[in-house]
Amino acid sequence: MKCPVDNQPMLVIEYEGIEIDYCAACGGIWLDEGELELLVGAEETDAIALSGGVPAPAPGEKARRCPACRKKMRKEATAGPDSVTYDRCPRGHGLWFDQGELGRVVESGAAPGAGGRVAAFFRELFPADGAATREEGPS
């Protein structure tokens, strides 16, 4: 599968049996439909309102094309105070997150269980990607 941003071949990262497509060039992540639910759990996905995402208010980003069908993806945003804009294939192939976005989504919806574990996984995977998300104090 090719990255919708820069057309580079994406790496497949396996996490607990879920295949995550990752672009090393731009740090973006593609999740096939349903994989987010597998990653963070259905309840957490509902909690961050991702399954029914709301249209992004001000699409400042360029439209991406679905890496599976090349259709232009829709901009959507998560609910909640720390809203994240992501892209969704109109044909339901999956979701695209630019660098750092998935980590923020996971953390914003993080329940103490799966969400937190996945958030830790992403911090480990993308250590450089902390500018916007790292808020742990020195304690």
The secondary structure of residue 24, as a DSSP letter, is T
**Contacting Zn ion (CB under 5 A), which of 31, 48, 89, 95?**
89
Q: CB of residue 92 vs Zn ion: minimum separation in angstroms?
A: 7
> Could you tell me the two tokens for 12?
């497949």
**Contacting Zn ion (CB under 5 A), which of 1, 18, 68, 79?**
68
25 near Zn ion, rule: CB under 5 A: yes
Give 3-state DSSP helix, strand, coil % of the chain, rounded to 5: 25, 25, 55
> At 127, which amino acid appears?
P
Residue 89 or 118: the one with the smaller Cβ distance to Zn ion is 89
Whole-number Å distance between alpha carbons of 47 and 109: 6
31 near Zn ion, rule: CB under 5 A: no
Site for Zn ion in 37-56 (CB under 5 A): none
Residues of this chain that interact with Zn ion (CB under 5 A) are 3, 5-6, 23, 25-26, 28, 66, 68-69, 89, 91, 93
